[in-house]
Structure 1
């Protein structure tokens, strides 16, 4: 899949919303600076998200490596771009 940073970001946000165990929106995520813990993102949601990212983008993100970076939208987008070999992060 050849996608630019903006498409990756939009896809990651869509996957964050769909893997969350409750109702959240883009505005909820943005209101909390993209910090997933602030929108009550659970460990099960993270597992679902990482699986969805791997399925959609073909990027494997290890929750144990760089767990802190994976706690924000920007961190996740940067990790996906890095995993895909893009220097556009």
Structure 2
């Protein structure tokens, strides 16, 4: 799950236009809002994750907390998402 976590951190940084680095996300995890990720960036992240991993994340069902980085990664792993090798 480490590769998945790293890739989602990269996508999160990209979605925030670099306001938060992947390293900051990996070190702190948890609340994206507390890290400075805006709600718009979170929506961009959800869209990027859906494209990257070929999954649909239905925010209406609330199967995960979209503000919680670690919960998002856990949810993706449970759905079978895998980061591409190298």
Please give the per-residue CA displacement for 1:20-76, whole angstroms capped at 9, x wherever unaligned.
Answer: 145212343356443101022222112111111011111211223327622122101
Distance (whole Å) between structure 2 residues aligned to residue 50 and residue 70 of structure 1: 8
Q: Structure 1 length normalisation: TM-score?
A: 0.72
2:4/2:81 contact within 8 Å kept: no
Displacement over 6 Å in runs of 4+: none
Gapped regions of structure 2 (runs ≥ 5): none
1:28 counterpart SS class: helix
Q: State the distance in 2 between where 1:13 and 1:59 align.
A: 17
Q: Which residue of 2 aligns with 1:20?
A: 16
> For residue 63 of structure 1, what is the aligned residue in structure 2?
59
Superposed CA RMSD in Å reads 2.4
CA distance, structure 2, for counterparts of residue 83 and residue 41 of structure 1 = 24
Q: TM-score, normalised by structure 2?
A: 0.75
